Amino acid sequence: MAIKETNSTQKQRNPWAWIPTLYFAEGIPYVVAMTVAVIMFKRFGISNTDIALYTSWLYLPWVIKPLWSPIVDLLKTKRWWIIFMQLVIGASLGAVALSIPLPGFFKISLIFLWLLAFSSATHDIAADGFYMLGLDEHQQTYFVGIRSTFYRIAMITGQGLLIILAGFFETSTGLPPIEINVSANPAYSKEIQLPEVAPQSPANKGQTFFAVFPQQAEISTQNIPSAKLDSIRKVVTEYNQANKFIPLQSENQTKTGTKKQGSWWSKSISSPLKNFLKDKFQAKVKPVSGNTLVGNITVVAIKLSEKPEENKEMVLNVKFRNGDNSIRILEGERLTFNSTNQDKPAYLLFQCDPKLARSTQASFKGTSGNIHLAWSITFVILAVMFVLFSFYHRFILPHPKSDQQTASQGQNLFKEFFKTFGSFFRRKDIGVIIAFLMLYRFGEAQLIKMASPFMLDPRNLGGLGLTTGDVGLLYGTFGILALTAGGILGGIAASTKGFKYWLWWMVLAINVPHLAYVYLAFAQPENQLLIGLCVVLEQFSYGFGFTAYMLYMIYISEGKNKTAHFAIATGFMALGMMLPGMFSGWLQEIIGYQNFFVWVMLCMIPGMIPVFFIKVKPEFGIKKKEQ
């Protein structure tokens, strides 16, 4: 593709016309690859192990981007690379949108997400270089905060608004919501029966909706033996699994289509470690006598009125709406209807608290949607956005004289590049530097990967049972705002008393607030305000603590080759997020959310060890007084 470069003497553009959009465009692909893809795959029913492993590999382009950064200098101009990469990013997003409805969507979409990640990393190299070429020294200083702000806005858009938009499409592309009313009363009969499903009325023929049987479910507050509960629960679960309303465990684990092989790694390392962790840390279920009394239950049937198209699914999500929390949903929070099971009812189980002895009621809401279609629409919108970005920047980016192709000097540049690369690793304190860069966020790297699945997973699996929109609002909007505020406060603090003074405070800030997730995992609160406060606290502290990481990268990059050394440091930064994230889902599925977040807390120990050995000038970071 040829992008014509106009005369370099063209009138200088106002930086406000291109810096906000350039850094907004830089942030969106990153958050799509790192966060949006995680939530999307979770909504498709992919296991946490596969989500964490395969999406963590998407960090790799940001890890190794220093290796091909000379190519951006050698070939074409940085302006050309920006415009071209935005078109490639748009094409990648469009390809993801087209791959989602396909049978092998997981593998295919990952291929295009890889292309997106490499294009985005290349775009980052060009954009950061163009920033220094397109602005003078004073403008670079003035706009450094502006570029960071719009990068954060991209984070809010990706983790918040995009997820809320996808959640809106999930519900709006589906059938009308249903309401399930459950009442409890000591006078109701203790007898538990499967509800009768009435035939569809001829008047409703041709209309597609979810029918609820019975309209008003009743639970007796008289307790029943646990053996009876287990028996009925087993019948309902096996029935729903047999009719594909819910996945079998083995099916869920192989949903990616990857056949599990008995490799040396699996036999010698992975499986023994997995068995050890299960034996030592997996929650043990205390044996309960079959005569132990537990809360009574009732069964509700849901039936889809019309047969969906072939290979199309309607997913019904049921969650508590209002009323008494003493009544909860035990089975059936997420049910999948398709052309093979539409003629059968799916069953839900509701249970009352064993201590409940009064009359009460609760209401549950069921929302459905074409999840694949919803996410396809979301990615189409993103693709169009980047095509528009490319055309906008084609006309609005300035043409700095220093932004020239340097291919004729290729040999010298490569020689200088390898010399610069080697100078970073010849430092006396290189071991401490790498250890700090790799371990400082060891716990946070794992928590970030599992935070969204934890919020989305149903409560009976240890999660919080939030909707996609809830996660977008709490974690993706308020969380990112708190993250931004923490980062701003960290920068202000470091400029007053210096980086060295605040270092240990920031180390504690990035680790100790992980206790909020330990609390959420053990308490599983339903109050969204309380959940939001925990998320905001953890994200604000992360933003404040991450300031130390950024300042240390700047500190170790000072000198003649600061640009190249900073690029290498960012590579280690990405690697430090990628490797822990890869095994986080595997670990969580073995030991459960409660033990997993306790493990995240323990990960602060290796992250703190290198801090004892780093040396920083006391005056570094303090704002210098004007003479």
With a CB cutoff of 8 Å and minimum separation 6, the contacts of 255 are 45, 46, 47, 50, 106, 247
Q: Quick one: how far is CA 222 from the chain centroid?
A: 43
Sign for the CA dihedral angle at 36, 40, 46, 47 comes to positive
- pLDDT at site 413: 57
Task: List domains and CATH numbers for the chain.
Answer: 9-173+371-405 (1.20.1250.20), 178-256+269-369 (no CATH), 411-616 (1.20.1250.20)
- pLDDT at site 193: 82
- The phi and psi torsions of 397 (rounded to 5 degrees) equal -65, 140
C-alpha–C-alpha distance, residues 264 and 550, integer Å: 40
Are 393 and 86 spatial neighbours (Cβ–Cβ below 8 Å)? Answer: yes
Closest alpha carbon to 358 in 321, 327, 330: 327
- pLDDT at site 111: 92
- The phi and psi torsions of 597 (rounded to 5 degrees) equal -70, -25
Q: Which two tokens stand for residue 56?
A: 């963590």
Closest alpha carbon to 327 in 220, 197, 405: 220
The count of C-alpha atoms lying within 13 angstroms of the C-alpha of 422, restricted to the half-sphere facing its C-beta, is 6
**Per residue in 220-242, is it b (16+ CB within 10 Å) or e — as a string?**
bbbbbebebbeebbeebbebbee
pLDDT along the chain (627 residues), means of 10: 43 78 90 86 80 81 76 77 93 93 87 92 82 64 62 79 82 82 89 81 75 90 89 90 77 42 58 66 56 87 83 80 84 85 90 85 86 89 94 88 60 63 80 90 88 82 78 79 81 77 89 92 89 91 84 73 68 82 83 90 90 80 53
Q: Which two tokens stand for residue 439?
A: 């371990």
C-alpha–C-alpha distance, residues 128 and 26, integer Å: 10
Reported as type and span, the H/E element at residue 319 is strand 314-323
Number of helices (H), then strands (E), belonging to the chain: the values are 23, 11
C-alpha–C-alpha distance, residues 493 and 491, integer Å: 5
- pLDDT at site 201: 67
Name the pTM for this structure: 0.63
- pLDDT at site 262: 52
The count of C-alpha atoms lying within 13 angstroms of the C-alpha of 606, restricted to the half-sphere facing its C-beta, is 15
Reported as type and span, the H/E element at residue 364 is strand 360-369
Q: Which two tokens stand for residue 566?
A: 């900073």
DSSP 606-620: HHHGGGGT----TTT
- Amino acid identity, position 464: L
Reported as type and span, the H/E element at residue 448 is helix 442-456
C-alpha–C-alpha distance, residues 613 and 598, integer Å: 26
C-alpha–C-alpha distance, residues 300 and 218, integer Å: 10
- pLDDT at site 2: 45
Closest alpha carbon to 470 in 100, 53, 171: 171
